[in-house]
Amino acid sequence: MKIYSDDVFKCQYCGAPNKAITWDTETFRSCRSRIEKREFQHLNNSIAIEKDNDTYYKCPRCKKWSKGSQLVVVKARIEEVKHIKRDSIIEISNKL
């Protein structure tokens, strides 16, 4: 399932809504090594926000890292993107 660059995601820490392209840009800018840049997964695929995926994205506003499955879909062109099974912050902190 495709996620478009103008779809909006909200950070669970600060609540700031940002477009997918903004999340991508901020996260890719934080990749320091060639290996990190090569392994970077863009938010243009729903796999990036599914529950079993271990990808992390940096919030453009508060600069905290969130697991892709923690991002809340605020606005999406495809309605099914809003219903992908995701993690909450509480579920992840209980696993630690």
67 bridge partner residues:
56
Residue 87 is which amino acid? D
Residue 93 pLDDT > 50, yes or no? no
Cα distance between residue 90 and residue 10, in whole Å? 16
Ramachandran quadrant class, 59 (left: phi over 0; alpha: psi -120 to 50; beta: rest): beta
* Residue pLDDT, tens place only, 7-45: 999 998 999 999 999 999 999 999 999 999 998 988 888
Which tops the pLDDT comparison, 75 or 33? 33
Domain segments of the chain: what residues? 8-95
Dihedral of CA atoms 24, 45, 37, 35 in degrees, nearest 10, equals: 150
Q: Between vectors from CA 60 to CA 34 and to CA 26, what angle results, nearest 5°?
A: 20
pLDDT at 94 (0 to 100): 47
Residue 4 pLDDT > 80, yes or no? yes
Query: How many CB atoms are closer than 10 A to CB 22?
Result: 19
With H, G, I as helix, E, B as strand and everything else as coil, classify residue 63.
coil
pLDDT at 92 (0 to 100): 46
pLDDT at 50 (0 to 100): 81
* Residue pLDDT, tens place only, 46-72: 788 887 888 899 999 999 999 888 888
